[in-house]
């Protein structure tokens, strides 16, 4: 099946393991390498692609935004994601997202004025960064003539796949979610966009295992981030971050880590930009786990697991997972989007950490929710998982790993309205009276609540409160 011929194509699939390095055409639907079982990447012969000589050249596309490909915040960088014929691209205007400086959040993190930036991916059509990748996966599904597509999800991937399928009307969609903690905003999206929604009695990892099996048995196109075409679209967040900084790389990019697709895509994007000499320096990346779902943190920071030029210590990973199973430890966090035990892109993320001289941290639900309230107070609503980035940046600053003079970009991955229950529970709490949803999760204090004030329907009473 593997053929060296594909290495001469402009784009081909390449096993991520340098020790295997098997190659496959982009006209094959694969989610793992048939030779060694590792994940696949897209690889390009850049000399066959008309890559602009400067990132600034992409700015010209702002003036041709009536072309849907130039309007898309993913495909206006299409020479850096060059796998699709233009007439096959499925786009719904994803990636219209912005980088914003926030001194309010900067003060909270404790970096110098002007140095804290938020990349607000919640502005995507389905309200999360997943659309950046789903346009890539949907495009490849279309290239392959897929009739049905599926994913497992903690909520946002399913909402994203559902919106693409309903807009493009090219394939049927089935999404698998755990029956536990999917936030209602996300579940409601999958239902409203008409996706067949299967709630498995189990968590994300159970849903992930089942969807892989189902896709194999029924020849359904799998849209989880094991799919290398999805990760190609997710590289675009990095391009937009750089664009927002006038093409000057920041010192740090801080991103929440769940299934680890996003951080993996960021590492690949940065490596490619450096190889193409479009940037001269690679920023450091910090991947932030929720403490209740901290497999990457445990493996990378506590047990020293490294990419090691592709020679990853599989036995260490397996023994860690066995230990988790024996202790019956399952991921549990109010940041439900990242409540994942066995991240499928673990090794890709290790590679990204090696490329970026990266670090991993874990933050508690309390830290996450306090950071979320600060982000909201600064005018950028986000869901709990997203706020892990700001909480992580604050922690790294307190440790002295991030300096006050560093330029820091935190990725806000999902919109505030995805999980209003978490927001209301936080703001309704006070010392000694923490909302049950929060206290059940171990949160016993809230630093920045903004409680609704109950009042009788009488003008004097209302004015009393305002005085
Ligand atoms: N933030 C949000 C809002 C997410 O929905 C996710 C992942 C992440 C961060 C973590 O990103 O998986 O690339 O490391 N959500 C997936 C889902 C798992 O099914 O929607 P990652």
Is 130-226 the same fold as 98-126+230-422? yes
Q: For a pocket test of ligand 1, which of 128, 258, 411 has the largest count of ligand atoms closer than 8 A to its C-beta?
A: 258
Q: What pLDDT score does 3 carry? A: 47
What are the boundaries of each domain within the chain?
Answer: 11-48, 98-126+230-422, 130-226
C-alpha of residue 266 to centroid of ligand 1, in Å: 14
**130-226, CATH topology level:** Rossmann fold (3.40.50)
pLDDT of residue 5: 60
CA 457 to centroid of ligand 1, rounded, Å: 43
Atom of ligand 1 nearest to the CA of 382: 3
Q: What is the pLDDT of residues 377-387, one digit of tens each?
A: 999 999 999 99
What's the pLDDT at 100? 95
Ligand 1 pocket, mutate which of 120, 156, 190, 263 (most atoms under 8 A from CB)? 156
Residue of 413, 416, 417, 422 with the most ligand 1 atoms within 8 Å of its CB, for mutation: 413
Counting from 1 in the atom list of ligand 1, the atom nearest the Cα of 151 is 19
CA 157 to ligand 1 centroid distance, Å = 7
Mean pLDDT over each residue of the chain, to the nearest integer: 96
- Tell me what the mean pLDDT of segment 365-385 comes to: 97
Residue 317's CB: how many other CB atoms inside 10 A? 18
Residue 252 scores a pLDDT above 50? yes
For residue 255, the ligand 1 atom closest to its alpha carbon is 9
For residue range 76-130, list pLDDT tens digits in order: 999 999 999 999 999 999 999 989 999 999 999 999 999 999 999 999 999 999 9
The two tokens of residue 463 are 């004015």
- CATH (residue range 98-126+230-422): 3.40.50.1100
Query: If we measure between CA atoms, which residue out of 218, 229, 178, 200 comes closest to residue 332?
Result: 178
Ligand 1 centroid to Cα of residue 348, in Å, is 15
CA distance 207 to 123: 27
Say if residue 4's pLDDT is above 80: no
Beta bridge partners, 40, equal 15
Write out residues with Cβ below 6 Å of ligand 1.
128, 130, 153-157, 225, 256-263, 337-338, 383, 385-386, 413-414
Confidence of residue 7 (pLDDT cuts 50, 70, 90): confident
């Amino acid at each position: 099946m593997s053929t060296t011929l594909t290495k001469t194509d402009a784009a081909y699939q390449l096993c991520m393991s340098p020790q295997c390095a098997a190659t496959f055409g982009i006209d094959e639907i694969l989610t793992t390498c048939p030779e060694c079982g590792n994940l696949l990447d897209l690889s390009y012969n850049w000399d066959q692609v008309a890559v602009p000589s400067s990132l600034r050249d992409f700015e010209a596309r702002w003036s041709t935004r009536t072309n849907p490909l130039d309007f898309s915040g993913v495909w206006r960088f299409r020479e850096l994601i060059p796998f699709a014929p233009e007439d096959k691209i499925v786009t719904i205007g994803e990636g219209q997202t912005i980088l914003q400086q926030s001194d309010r959040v900067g003060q909270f993190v404790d970096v110098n004025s002007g140095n804290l930036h938020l990349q607000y991916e919640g502005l995507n059509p389905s309200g999360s960064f997943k659309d950046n990748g789903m346009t890539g996966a949907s495009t490849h599904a279309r290239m392959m003539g897929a009739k049905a597509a599926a994913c497992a999800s903690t909520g946002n991937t399913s909402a994203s796949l559902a919106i693409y399928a309903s807009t493009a009307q090219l394939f049927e969609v089935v999404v698998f979610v755990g029956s536990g903690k999917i936030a209602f905003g996300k579940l409601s999206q999958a239902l409203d966009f008409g996706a067949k929604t299967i709630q498995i009695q189990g968590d994300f990892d159970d849903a992930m295992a089942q969807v892989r099996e189902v896709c194999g048995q029924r020849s359904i196109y799998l849209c989880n981030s094991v799919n290398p075409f999805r990760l190609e679209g997710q590289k675009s967040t990095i391009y937009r971050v750089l664009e927002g900084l006038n093409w000057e790389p920041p010192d740090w990019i801080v991103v929440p880590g769940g299934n680890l697709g996003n951080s993996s895509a960021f590492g690949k994007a940065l490596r490619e930009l450096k190889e193409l000499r479009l940037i001269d320096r690679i920023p450091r990346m910090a991947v932030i786990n929720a403490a209740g779902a901290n497999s990457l943190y445990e493996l990378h920071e506590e047990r020293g697991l490294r990419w090691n030029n592709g020679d990853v210590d599989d036995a260490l990973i397996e023994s860690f997972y066995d230990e988790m199973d024996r202790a019956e430890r399952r991921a549990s966090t109010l940041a439900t989007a990242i409540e994942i035990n066995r991240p499928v892109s673990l090794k890709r993320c290790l590679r990204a950490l090696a490329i970026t001289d990266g670090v991993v941290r874990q933050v508690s639900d309390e830290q996450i929710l306090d950071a979320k309230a600060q982000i909201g107070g600064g005018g950028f609503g986000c869901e709990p998982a997203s706020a892990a980035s700001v909480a992580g940046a604050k922690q790294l600053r307190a440790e002295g790993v991030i300096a006050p003079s560093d330029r820091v970009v935190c990725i806000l991955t999902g919109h505030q309205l995805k999980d209003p229950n978490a927001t209301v529970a936080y703001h309704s709490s006070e010392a000694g009276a923490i909302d049950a949803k929060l206290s059940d999760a171990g949160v016993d204090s809230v630093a920045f609540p903004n409680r609704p004030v109950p009042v009788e329907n009488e003008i004097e009473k209302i004015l009393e409160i305002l005085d």
